[in-house]
Structure 1
Amino acid sequence: MAGLFFAFDVSVMPALRRSDDRTLVQVMQRVNVAIVNGLFMTAFLGSLLLTALALVLHLASGAGSAAPPLIAALVAYALQLGVTGRINIPLNNALDAAGPVERIADPAAVRQAFEARWVPANRWRTLLCTIALGCLAWALVLSGRL
C-alpha cells in the first residue's frame, strides 16, 4: 500500500496537476471506480488483517521481542485507514456525485474541492504506510527472520 500511495504522490497526481480541470476530474472519477477491485481490496484490507495476525501469533508464541514494532505497524496502518475513511473516500464520493465531467458547470471548483484536500491526505497515507512497512521490517529483524 505504501508503494501504491507513493506512486500517486510522485507520478499520478503531479501529471494530473499539469492537466486541465475536466481531465483531472474525469481521470480521478475513472480511477476511483477501477481501483475498487478484488486485488486492491485484498491488499488494502489484508495489510491490516495480516499485521494483526502476525501480532497475535507472535504474542501466542511467547516471544515478545517483536511485539512493539508489530503494534506500531498495526497502529500506523489503522491510522491510514482513518485518513482514507474520513478524507479520501468522502472526497472520491463527492467527485463521483459531481456527475459526468461534460455536465459539470464549474469543473475548476470541483477540482479545487477535491485536489486541495485529497493530495495532502494521500501524502499522510503514504507516510503512515511507509512507517508500517518499516515497523514490519524491524519486527522481522528482531525476530531473527531478516
Structure 2
Amino acid sequence: METARFVSLLAATITTGLVSGLFYGFSVSVMPGLRRTGDRTVIEVMQRINVAILNGWFLLGYLGALVFTGLALGLSVPSDGREALPQLIGAFVCYVLALGLTARVNIPLNNALEKAGPLDRIPDPAAVRSAFEQPWVRANVWRTVLCTVAFGLLAWALVLHGQGR
C-alpha cells in the first residue's frame, strides 16, 4: 500500500507538472508570439495545434494527472498517509477546476475555431480571431495558475510523504 501511494503521488506530481508546464508555455511564449502576428496566422497555427495536441502523450499527462492525483488521494485516506491529505485534496480540486475551465471555455473556443473552416474560406479572419484569442488566453492563464498550484501542493505532499517515512 505504501509503495502504491508513493508511486501514485510521484506520477501525479510529474503529470501535473507536465500539464502545468504546457499551459505555462502557451501563456508566456506561444500566445504572446501569436499576438504579434496577423489574424490568418493565429487561426492557422491554433487550428494546427488543436489537431496536433490530440495524441497519446498529451492524454497521458492530461488525464493521467487527474487519475494519479485521485488515486494518491484515495490511497491516503484509509492509511497512515493522512499527513498530506489537505495538500492532496487541494491539488485534486485545483486540477478538477482546471479541467472544468478547459471543458467550458478552451475546448469550445477550439471547436469554434475549427468550425470556422479552412483559412482560405474564412470571410472575416479578424472577427474569428477576436472571438477566439482573448477569451482563450484569459482561460489559459487561469488554468495555468490552477495547475501550478496543484503541482506545488503535490510537491509539498511528496515532501511530507518523505518526512513520514
Listed as ranges, the gaps of 5+ residues in structure 1 are: none
Alignment of 1:80-95 (within 5 A): 80-95=98-113
Give aligned-pair identity as a percent. 61
Shift of 1:56: 1.1
Counterparts in 2 of 1:29 and 1:145: CA distance versus 1, 3 Å: farther
Aligned pair partner of 2:59 in 41, 59, 69: 41
**2:44 aligned partner, one-letter code:** Q
* Aligned residues between the structures: 146
Aligned position for 1:140: 158
Aligned pair partner of 1:25 in 43, 48, 64: 43
Once superposed, what is the RMSD of the aligned Cα atoms? Answer: 1.2
| SS of equivalent to 2:123 | coil
Matched, 1:79 2:97: yes
CA distance in 2, matches of 1:63, 1:33: 40
Structure 1 length-normalised TM: 0.97
Shift of 1:36: 0.5
Alignment of 1:1-146 (within 5 A): 1-144=19-162
Shift of 1:60: 2.7
| SS of equivalent to 2:37 | coil
- 1:49-95 deviations in Å (ceiling 9; x for gaps): 00011111122323311000000000000000000000000000000
**1:92 aligned partner, one-letter code:** N
Structure 2 length-normalised TM: 0.86
| SS of equivalent to 2:117 | coil
- 1:99-135 deviations in Å (ceiling 9; x for gaps): 0011100000000000010000000010000000000
- 1:13-38 deviations in Å (ceiling 9; x for gaps): 01100110000000000000000000
- 61-70 or 90-99, larger mean C-alpha shift: 61-70
**2:110 aligned partner, one-letter code:** N
Listed as ranges, the gaps of 5+ residues in structure 2 are: 1-18
| SS of equivalent to 1:105 | coil
